[in-house]
Chains A and B, each alone.
Chain A
Amino acid sequence: MLEYELLTTGRLSQALEYLDKLEGVKLLAGGTDILVDIKKKSGRLPEFDYLLDISNIDALKFIRQKNDFIELGPLVTHTMIINNRLIKDNFPVIVEAAKTIGSNQIRNRGTIGGNICNASPAADLLPPLLAYRAEVVLESRDSKRVLPLSEFIKGPYRTDLKTNEILTAIQVPNLKVNYFKDNFKDKDRFKENNDIKDNKETNNKPSNSTNIKDDNFKDNFSNNFNDNFDDHFKDYKLNNHLNLKYFSSFQKIGRRRAVTIARLSLALVVGIDAEKIIQDVRVVPGAATPYPRSFITVEEALKGRAVEKIDPEALGRLAAEEMVSITGERWSTPYKKPAIATLVKRGLMIVEKEVAADEED
């Protein structure tokens, strides 16, 4: 029979202190995963002696706009996500996914931090967060590091979380900034015009030091990067590329119409330029692979293509092949193959349609 002590605190520093001092500590946030695991004596649950309740640490409950990203505290509940304008306007796929999670009661308790750290193959926030290239901030008493979510998730129900760490923030980068960083940050022109030094090194690199975004990026760009983004690059020759318009969707298949774990899901984010060329694309299915990840083959196949020219049907098949190349033939493959093809096809058709509708406006 499982025996443990319950530790409570309202302060992050004390929680980190506990983690530092004690062995065998498990974190408790909304409890909608871990309390179920405890009740079911789940084999996935490692042995622990202390359950550290972080749910009352107010400092971990926030949603705020930073210069080039939106930052969420790990204790942000699914309900908070759904009701938040900032997220809805900037990252609608996260909201759409949050809406499909569990029931109202579960959404009121369950947190984004818990969803990430539980790292279920079917965790509904993972595909959108991965699609938006989210990064996680991990703190221990003496250190702090920032990691792309894609590197934090190590496998089914496995993360890179160290025993003395707490996930303290999730940063979702502004789409355009992110796209820019991914593609052009080392271009000469960019350097000249914007006078940014060494961004290449500090970016995307796990680092224990400080939050690069807060410091370097902010200073080098402007105080209100998001608002002035387009201004900034007015005369930039790749402006056309940067002036992307984003279209996105979240789809989820479940065995019933509510309170259902994803049998399969798909987060799709597509950025197109003025010529309707796909410049930026993220295709991240959930529950298709042992842990959610970008379907790179599909993304590559889409990049640089004109929206009217894509063949959703063929790309759906490509996604199915990519899935099988990752998972091999499993018992569920005969179903998931055609189903993932459908989701990808449909997601792209939605994009086509929205692009067309957008044109008419």
Chain B
Amino acid sequence: MSFNKVNKSVKRIDAYEKVTGRAKYGADLKFAGMLYGKVLRTKYPHARILKIDIKKALEYPGVEAVLTARDVPNNQFGVIIRNQQVLAGKETFYIGDGVAVVAARTEEAAERALELIEVKYQELPGIYDPEEAMKEDADRVHKELPGNQVIHHPLRKGDIEEGFARADVILEREYTTQFVEHSYLEPEVVIAVPHEQNSLVTIYGSVQNPYATQNAVASVLQVELSRVRVIQNHLGGSFGGKDEVISSMAARAALLALKTNRPVKMVNSRDESILESYKRHPYRMKYKVGATREGKLVAMEIKAVADSGAYACQTPFVTWRSVVQATGPYEVPHVKTDTYGYYTNNIYTGAMRGYGSPQVIFAQESLMDELATELGMDPLELRLQNIYHNNSITASGQRLDNHKVSLKEVILKAVEASNYREKYAEYNKSQSGDKKRGIGMAISFRGCSLGAEAVDAAAAIIHIQKDGSLDLYSGLAENGQGLKTIFAQIAAEELGIDLDRINFMEVDTSIIPDSGSTVASRSTLIGGNAVRNAARKVKAIIAEFIEEEYGDEFGFKAKDLIFKDNRIYVAEGKDVGDIKEIISFKEMAGKAYNAGVLLSAYGWYKAPEISWDEETGQGNPYFTYVYGCQIAEVEVDTGTGEIEVLKMTAAHDVGRAINPANVKGQIYGGVMMGLGYAIMEELETEEGYIRNTNFDGYLIPTVRDMPEIIPVIVENPDPVGPYGAKSIGEPTLELGSAAIANAVFQATGRRIRSLPLNLERVLIGHSLSKGGNR
């Protein structure tokens, strides 16, 4: 298949605004009469609020409003389970809980007012470890709930006892992962404008999921959805992170805006952002695997416990993705897994790029290498013996038969590009000096889109102006990943026009239907299909109109028309490619307008059917999967514990790359996040307090931490995806940690089962912290 606009590395359509500084992000917006909002946060992770006195704060010059939980019509919100408070009323559950909000004429006055609010707390003992939370007699984090369990996902396949009975080798290992901060470069911002254009309140800002925010605000205010309008702005990164935290911020800003009848802007500092925003779930995972002497997997038993922190947030879904991916892309006849989420008084956890997969992949791909060592096998050969092929049955009982299962191809391409076999042999020989090298790999299969989590559909609108230029609306949001460009490419491909004719509109909840969240690497697949659907509808209208106008004259039918190069042609002559122009796209638009033809269309796409049985964890949880393999080459300084990642090879089957340069950008960025996850990133908590609340303590990779990255794009078009495209955003970061840990093992002989692989773990085998060893 040959394309004109898709499958090409066209330039990003939002790049010009961004390189010139013109692009307006939330913090750049100003409205007449605008006030500044600030939040007073709790002093203690877990405390009873005995009294709040706002009198002095209210009297401070410039202060227009001070609100507490009492002023919140409905104080609980949440996408899955509604138990997150907008403002803490009686009790605080974690260190980021807001207690009061202030709106003032200047930011300084707002900050000063916060200091004048007097709150009396009674500090309460808290639960800071899910293992504690699990205990029968543990205090309950939320008294109204029967226990601390947020969720339990069981999965049962085959007979686990029998499986282990058949095993020649059984390994039991425990792995842990850490709290991780999204670290989008732009801290959260929300501006609530009251009574703008007939809406009760309009929300602007760094909103990842406009519909979730709209839902939350409407529910908090107890008003109808159509009265709350959310308009997205340029987003300075999100990675799953600007969802619930923005919802609560938007609700607070909206309350202040309605109270004062003036626009209210709230901008988080980095410290506030890290203190309040949800994190990636830390997991504690017990793995037991059984294999034959020849290296065939026969049984796997897993218990994974996720720390949900103070609120449920996305824990039920995050842990659900873990269930499906926990056993890795391997055929295992007997499987028993139990995945749990528990409430604690830690900072709450939610969606972050990868969503429940990076944790289990770290464990399970480390385990595969441990098993290989145990069996005396090459880790690559062990994997190749057990991986999924077409018609393999997954742990959840799904037969992989509706798309190309390309895992072997992906692995072999990565192996070749990284020179894995040679390097592996070389590094296995004894190395002199303190600096030792190693190479390691990790592989995965990943369900595309939401799967059985939620309704999976999205909308798009294409609206052609009378001069042939085009407005494109989507219900999914640009987060920085390049969605606008991808969608514009799809529209341009279908309609045969240039990208510069397409104006991509920011998401506006009052214009386009709820398309769910821009998550789960679903945009290209689901949203792209919606755009294609809209474009095809408009195209059909145009074709029909052209046929009516010129069909008789030139002797053609609507279906014979060719849309390309901003013109509409019809095939002529015998040779393929001989075409004759009928009309330019621009001229057509004018004519159609004058003839009263509607040149707009809604596109809608709903994902294919899936199934899931919560009791047994069996079903077809996703309608298609992507496959990836990453290989890390490292040099470990065994005298200091420093790790230098020398090279990362990342092979990913994306179905089809709508924009290869963009896919590479996703790979580079994902590899970087995986690297940070593996060796340096960790939110340090102690009894619910957070120690590193800015980038001086929370370290993310700099340019000098980045190795050479070899991206390998594998294309096996999917029958469902637009032009065969699937996903790329998330698979890129889920593999790095295990690949690096495996490489470090080869280099040093030291197996590290906890992330991150920091200086201490590498040098002395365990981490250190001021509060003692964790």
Taking Cβ atoms with an 8 Å cutoff, the residues of A that contact B are 1, 36, 40, 103, 253, 255-261, 263-264, 331-332, 334-335, 338-339, 342-343, 345-346
Asked if B273 lies at the interface with its beta carbon under 8 angstroms from chain A, I say: no
Instruction: Flag B232-273 by CB within 8 Å of A: 1 or 0 each.
Output: 000000000000000000000000000000000000000100
The reply to whether A342 and B434 form a contact with Cβ atoms under 8 Å apart is yes
Within 8 A of A (CB), among B740-774: 758-760, 763-764, 768-770, 772
> Which residue on chain B has the smallest CB distance to residue A103?
B702
Q: With A1-B115, A258-B705, A346-B639 in contact, is A338–B768 under 8 Å at CB?
A: no
The reply to whether B680 and A255 form a contact with Cβ atoms under 8 Å apart is yes
A259 / chain B contacts, CB cutoff of 8 Å: 702
The reply to whether A258 and B112 form a contact with Cβ atoms under 8 Å apart is no
Identify A339's interface contact among B641, B699, B703, B704, CB under 8 A.
Answer: B641
Q: How far is the CA of A261 from the CA of B760 in the complex (A)?
A: 16
The reply to whether A338 and B763 form a contact with Cβ atoms under 8 Å apart is yes
- The contact size tier of chain B is 20 to 34
Q: How far is the CA of A339 from the CA of B641 in the complex (A)?
A: 8
Q: List 24 A-B contacts (CB under 8 A).
A: A1-B108, A36-B696, A40-B271, A253-B640, A253-B642, A255-B680, A256-B680, A256-B701, A256-B704, A257-B644, A257-B705, A258-B705, A334-B764, A335-B760, A335-B764, A335-B768, A338-B763, A338-B764, A339-B639, A339-B640, A342-B639, A342-B640, A346-B434, A346-B639
The reply to whether A256 and B702 form a contact with Cβ atoms under 8 Å apart is yes
Asked if B633 lies at the interface with its beta carbon under 8 angstroms from chain A, I say: no
Asked if B301 lies at the interface with its beta carbon under 8 angstroms from chain A, I say: no
Q: How far is the CA of A125 from the CA of B743 in the complex (A)?
A: 35
Instruction: Flag B701-741 by CB within 8 Å of A: 1 or 0 each.
Output: 11111000000000000000000000000000000000000
Asked if B111 lies at the interface with its beta carbon under 8 angstroms from chain A, I say: yes
Identify B702's interface contact among A257, A264, A334, CB under 8 A.
Answer: A257
Q: How far is the CA of A339 from the CA of B758 in the complex (A)?
A: 13
The reply to whether A258 and B764 form a contact with Cβ atoms under 8 Å apart is no
A40 / chain B contacts, CB cutoff of 8 Å: 271, 694
Instruction: Flag B429-461 by CB within 8 Å of A: 1 or 0 each.
Output: 000001000000000000000000000000000
A253-B642, A257-B705, A331-B772 known, 10 other contacts, Cβ within 8 Å: A1-B112, A255-B759, A257-B702, A258-B704, A264-B640, A331-B768, A331-B770, A335-B763, A342-B434, A342-B639
> Which residue on chain B has the smallest CB distance to residue A258?
B704
> Which residue on chain B has the smallest CB distance to residue A345?
B639
The reply to whether B640 and A256 form a contact with Cβ atoms under 8 Å apart is no
The reply to whether B699 and A256 form a contact with Cβ atoms under 8 Å apart is yes
- How many Å from the CB of A176 to the closest CB on chain B? 32
- How many Å from the CB of B151 to the closest CB on chain A? 34
> Which residue on chain B has the smallest CB distance to residue A335?
B760
Instruction: Flag B377-395 by CB within 8 Å of A: 1 or 0 each.
Output: 0000000000000000000
Q: How far is the CA of A331 from the CA of B773 in the complex (A)?
A: 9
Q: How far is the CA of A317 from the CA of B759 in the complex (A)?
A: 19
Taking Cβ atoms with an 8 Å cutoff, the residues of B that contact A are 108, 111-112, 115, 271, 434, 639-642, 644, 680, 694, 696, 699, 701-705, 758-760, 763-764, 768-770, 772
A342 / chain B contacts, CB cutoff of 8 Å: 434, 639-640
Identify A253's interface contact among B115, B759, B770, CB under 8 A.
Answer: B759
Identify A331's interface contact among B699, B759, B769, CB under 8 A.
Answer: B769
The reply to whether A260 and B639 form a contact with Cβ atoms under 8 Å apart is no
- How many Å from the CB of B694 to the closest CB on chain A? 8
The reply to whether B768 and A343 form a contact with Cβ atoms under 8 Å apart is no
B702 / chain A contacts, CB cutoff of 8 Å: 103, 256-259
Q: How far is the CA of A264 from the CA of B769 in the complex (A)?
A: 16
- How many Å from the CB of B542 to the closest CB on chain A? 53
B699 / chain A contacts, CB cutoff of 8 Å: 255-256, 260
- How many Å from the CB of B187 to the closest CB on chain A? 14
A261 / chain B contacts, CB cutoff of 8 Å: 696
Q: Which of A36, A255, A263, A346 has the most CB of B within 10 A?
A: A255
Identify A255's interface contact among B108, B639, B758, CB under 8 A.
Answer: B758
A332 / chain B contacts, CB cutoff of 8 Å: 768
- How many Å from the CB of B74 to the closest CB on chain A? 34
- How many Å from the CB of B106 to the closest CB on chain A? 12
- How many Å from the CB of B550 to the closest CB on chain A? 62
B641 / chain A contacts, CB cutoff of 8 Å: 253, 335, 339
- How many Å from the CB of A179 to the closest CB on chain B? 30
Q: How far is the CA of A332 from the CA of B773 in the complex (A)?
A: 10
The reply to whether B704 and A257 form a contact with Cβ atoms under 8 Å apart is yes
The reply to whether B759 and A256 form a contact with Cβ atoms under 8 Å apart is no
> Which residue on chain A has the smallest CB distance to residue B769?
A331
- How many Å from the CB of B539 to the closest CB on chain A? 51
Q: How far is the CA of A120 from the CA of B673 in the complex (A)?
A: 31
B639 / chain A contacts, CB cutoff of 8 Å: 338-339, 342, 345-346
Q: How far is the CA of A338 from the CA of B759 in the complex (A)?
A: 11
- How many Å from the CB of B682 to the closest CB on chain A? 10
Q: How far is the CA of A256 from the CA of B639 in the complex (A)?
A: 16
Q: Which of A103, A258, A332, A335 has the most CB of B within 10 A?
A: A335
The reply to whether B759 and A263 form a contact with Cβ atoms under 8 Å apart is yes
* Closest 4 pairs between A and B when the two form their complex, measured CB to CB: A342-B639, A258-B704, A257-B704, A258-B702
Q: With A1-B111, A256-B705, A258-B703 in contact, is A334–B768 under 8 Å at CB?
A: yes
Q: How far is the CA of A343 from the CA of B639 in the complex (A)?
A: 8
Q: How far is the CA of A1 from the CA of B112 in the complex (A)?
A: 7
- How many Å from the CB of A264 to the closest CB on chain B? 8
A253 / chain B contacts, CB cutoff of 8 Å: 640-642, 759
B108 / chain A contacts, CB cutoff of 8 Å: 1
A335 / chain B contacts, CB cutoff of 8 Å: 641, 759-760, 763-764, 768
- How many Å from the CB of A298 to the closest CB on chain B? 17
A338 / chain B contacts, CB cutoff of 8 Å: 639, 763-764
- How many Å from the CB of B626 to the closest CB on chain A? 30
Q: How far is the CA of A361 from the CA of B383 in the complex (A)?
A: 53
Q: How far is the CA of A264 from the CA of B642 in the complex (A)?
A: 12
> Which residue on chain A has the smallest CB distance to residue B269?
A39
Q: How far is the CA of A40 from the CA of B770 in the complex (A)?
A: 20
- How many Å from the CB of B363 to the closest CB on chain A? 24
The reply to whether A339 and B763 form a contact with Cβ atoms under 8 Å apart is yes
A103 / chain B contacts, CB cutoff of 8 Å: 702
Q: How far is the CA of A263 from the CA of B762 in the complex (A)?
A: 14
Q: How far is the CA of A331 from the CA of B774 in the complex (A)?
A: 12
